[in-house]
Structure 1
Amino acid sequence: MKSSKQALLLTALFLGTVAYPTLAAAQTAEAAASDSENGLGDIVVTAERRSENLTNVPVSVGVLSGDDTRAFTSGGDDTLLSLSGKVPSLYIESTTGRIFPRFYIRGLGNVDFYLGASQPVSIIQDDVVLEHVVLKSNPVYDVAQVEVLRGPQGSLFGRNTTAGIVKFDTNRPTMDFQGRASLSVGTYDTVNFDAGVGGPLIADKLAVRVSVLAQHRQDYVDNTFRGVSADGTVTPAKNVMGGFDDLNARLQLLYTPTSNLSVLLSGHVRDYNGTSTLFLRGALTKGSNQSNAPRDSVAFDEANNNPQAYKTQGASGHITWDLGGVEVTSITAYEHTSGYSRGDTDGGAAANFPVGGVPNGFGESQGQIRDLDQWTQEVRLASNNDGPLKWQVGGFYFDSRDITDFYQRAYFLTTAARNPNNWVRLHNVNTSWAGFGQASYTFNDRLTVTGGVRYTKDTKTTDLLKTADTAAGVVTYPGRRHVRLSDDKVSWDVSALYKVSDDASVYARVARGFRGPTIQGRSAVFNSDFTTANSETITSYEAGFKSQWLDNRLRFNASAFYWRVNDIQLNGNDTNGNGVLFNANRADAYGAEAELEFRPVPELVLSLGGSVLHTEIKDSKAEAQVCALNGAIVCTVLDPVRTQATPFGPVFLANINGNPLPNAPKYNLNFTARYDIPVTDSGKFFIATDWNVQGYTNFVLYETKEFTSKGNFEGGLKVGYSGGNGTWELAAFARNITNEKNLKGVIENYMAAVYNDPRIIGVSFSGKIR
Structure 2
Amino acid sequence: MALKSTLKLSVAALVTAGSMAALPALAQDADSETDTRRLPSVTTTAQRVEQNAQDVPVSITTISDEKLDNLKAGGADIRFLSARAPSVIAESSFGRAFPRFYIRGIGNTDFDLNASQPVSLVYDDVPYENPILKGYPVFDLEAVEVLRGPQGTLFGRNTPGGIIKFDSVKPGETSNGYVKASLGSYNTTEIEGAYGDRLGEADAMAFRVSGLYQQRDAFVDNAFTGENDRFEGFEEWAIRGQLLLNLLETTDVLLNVHGRSNTSDARLFRANIIDPGSRGVGSGFDFETVYYDGQNFLEQEAHGTTIRVDHEISDGFDLTYVFGWETAEVSSRGDIDGGFGAAFLGAGNFGPGFIPFASESSGAVDDLDQVTNEIRVAFDDGGRTRFQAGIFSFDEELEITSRSYDTLSPGQPENGRATRGGETESMSIFGSMEFDLTESLTLAGGARYTDEQKTFTVERQVGPFGSGTLGPISGQVGDEHVSWDVSVSYDVSDDVLVYAKVADGFRGPSIQGRLVFGDTVSIADSETVLSYEAGVKSEFLDGRVRANANVFAYTLEDQQLTIVGGTNNTVALFNADESEGYGFEADIEAAPIDNLLITAGISYNNTEIKDDLLVAPGCGAGCTILDPAVYDVSGTLVEVAPGGTAPVGGTFLGYNISGNSFPNAPEWIGNVTARYAIPVEGGELYAYTDWAFKGETNFFLYDSVEFGEDGYWTGGLRAGWKGDNGLDASVFVRNITDEEVLTGAIDFNNLTGFVNEPRTWGVEIGYSF
Instruction: Using structure 2 for the length normalisation, give the TM-score.
Output: 0.89
Q: 1:330 aligns with which of 316, 321, 326?
A: 321
1:654-698 per-residue CA deviation (whole Å, 9 max, x = no partner) reads: 110100000111101100000111112x41111110001111111
Contact 2:518 2:570 in 1 (8 A): no
1:685-714 per-residue CA deviation (whole Å, 9 max, x = no partner) reads: 111100011111111111111112222211
Residue 488 in 1 paired to residue 480 in 2?
Answer: yes
* Structure-2 separation of matches of 1:419 and 1:438: 53
State the match for 1:445 in structure 2.
Answer: 439
Residue type of the partner of 1:767? Y
* Structure-2 separation of matches of 1:416 and 1:217: 28
State the match for 1:214 in structure 2.
Answer: 213
* Structure-1 separation of matches of 2:411 and 2:676: 65
Instruction: Write out aligned runs for 1:498-509 (5 A).
Output: 498-509=490-501
State the match for 2:18 in structure 1.
Answer: none
Against the structure 1 CA distance between its residues 146 and 485, is the aligned structure 2 distance closer, same or farther, given a 3 Å change threshold? same
Residue 390 in 1 paired to residue 386 in 2?
Answer: yes
Against the structure 1 CA distance between its residues 419 and 369, is the aligned structure 2 distance closer, same or farther, given a 3 Å change threshold? closer
Against the structure 1 CA distance between its residues 504 and 286, is the aligned structure 2 distance closer, same or farther, given a 3 Å change threshold? same
* Structure-2 separation of matches of 1:607 and 1:743: 27
Contact 2:390 2:430 in 1 (8 A): yes
Quote the offset at 1:643 in angstroms: 6.0
* Structure-2 separation of matches of 1:651 and 1:713: 40
State the match for 1:605 in structure 2.
Answer: 597
* Structure-1 separation of matches of 2:348 and 2:204: 76
State the match for 2:640 in structure 1.
Answer: none
Q: 1:641 aligns with which of 612, 625, 629?
A: 629
**Structure 1: 5+ residue stretches without partners:** 1-33, 226-234
State the match for 1:468 in structure 2.
Answer: 462
State the match for 2:767 in structure 1.
Answer: 767
Contact 2:213 2:238 in 1 (8 A): yes
Quote the offset at 1:444 in angstroms: 2.2
State the match for 2:172 in structure 1.
Answer: 174
Against the structure 1 CA distance between its residues 319 and 35, is the aligned structure 2 distance closer, same or farther, given a 3 Å change threshold? farther
State the match for 1:458 in structure 2.
Answer: 452
Residue 684 in 1 paired to residue 675 in 2?
Answer: no
Residue 589 in 1 paired to residue 581 in 2?
Answer: yes
1:56-110 per-residue CA deviation (whole Å, 9 max, x = no partner) reads: 10110111013322211111111x1001111101110011111100000000000
Residue type of the partner of 1:425? T
**Structure 2: 5+ residue stretches without partners:** 1-32, 351-355, 634-649
1:717-763 per-residue CA deviation (whole Å, 9 max, x = no partner) reads: 011111116x2211110011111112100112311111111111111
Quote the offset at 1:470 in angstroms: 6.8
Residue 346 in 1 paired to residue 345 in 2?
Answer: no
* Deviation beyond 6 Å, 4+ runs, structure 1: 352-358, 649-652
Contact 1:589 1:615 in 2 (8 A): yes
Residue 435 in 1 paired to residue 429 in 2?
Answer: yes
Q: State the SS of the aligned residue for 2:70.
A: helix
State the match for 1:694 in structure 2.
Answer: 694
State the match for 2:402 in structure 1.
Answer: 406
* Structure-2 separation of matches of 1:201 and 1:36: 37
Q: State the SS of the aligned residue for 1:585.
A: strand
Contact 2:422 2:457 in 1 (8 A): yes
Quote the offset at 1:358 in angstroms: 7.0
Residue type of the partner of 2:516? V
* Structure-2 separation of matches of 1:353 and 1:75: 43
State the match for 2:26 in structure 1.
Answer: none
State the match for 1:24 in structure 2.
Answer: none
Residue type of the partner of 1:138? Y
State the match for 1:271 in structure 2.
Answer: 261
Q: Identity rate of aligned residues, in percent?
A: 40
Q: State the SS of the aligned residue for 1:82.
A: helix
* Structure-2 separation of matches of 1:755 and 1:330: 43
* Structure-1 separation of matches of 2:465 and 2:90: 40
Quote the offset at 1:162 in angstroms: 0.5
Contact 1:66 1:142 in 2 (8 A): no
* Structure-2 separation of matches of 1:579 and 1:466: 16
1:608-664 per-residue CA deviation (whole Å, 9 max, x = no partner) reads: 1100110001112212211224xxxx111111024689xxx9967211010000011
Contact 1:468 1:527 in 2 (8 A): no
* Structure-1 separation of matches of 2:340 and 2:460: 30
Residue 555 in 1 paired to residue 555 in 2?
Answer: no
State the match for 2:85 in structure 1.
Answer: 87
State the match for 2:756 in structure 1.
Answer: 756
* Structure-2 separation of matches of 1:213 and 1:377: 28
Quote the offset at 1:575 in angstroms: 7.3
* Structure-1 separation of matches of 2:345 and 2:418: 30
State the match for 2:149 in structure 1.
Answer: 151
Instruction: Using structure 1 for the length normalisation, give the TM-score.
Output: 0.89
1:382-411 per-residue CA deviation (whole Å, 9 max, x = no partner) reads: 11321110001000000000111000124x
* Structure-2 separation of matches of 1:103 and 1:355: 42
Q: 2:420 aligns with which of 411, 419, 426?
A: 426
Against the structure 1 CA distance between its residues 470 and 240, is the aligned structure 2 distance closer, same or farther, given a 3 Å change threshold? closer
Quote the offset at 1:258 in angstroms: 2.1
Quote the offset at 1:475 in angstroms: 4.6
Against the structure 1 CA distance between its residues 330 and 620, is the aligned structure 2 distance closer, same or farther, given a 3 Å change threshold? same
* Structure-2 separation of matches of 1:704 and 1:614: 18
Quote the offset at 1:414 in angstroms: 4.8
State the match for 2:523 in structure 1.
Answer: 532
Instruction: Write out aligned runs for 1:205-284 (5 A).
Output: 205-225=204-224, 235-284=225-274
Residue type of the partner of 1:133? P
Residue type of the partner of 1:100? F
Instruction: Write out aligned runs for 1:352-371 (5 A).
Output: 359=350, 360-371=356-367
State the match for 1:5 in structure 2.
Answer: none
State the match for 2:655 in structure 1.
Answer: 654
Quote the offset at 1:311 in angstroms: 0.7
Residue type of the partner of 2:692? N
1:203-244 per-residue CA deviation (whole Å, 9 max, x = no partner) reads: 31100100101011101111111xxxxxxxxx2211111010
State the match for 1:188 in structure 2.
Answer: 186
Quote the offset at 1:525 in angstroms: 1.2
State the match for 1:116 in structure 2.
Answer: 114
* Structure-2 separation of matches of 1:310 and 1:643: 45
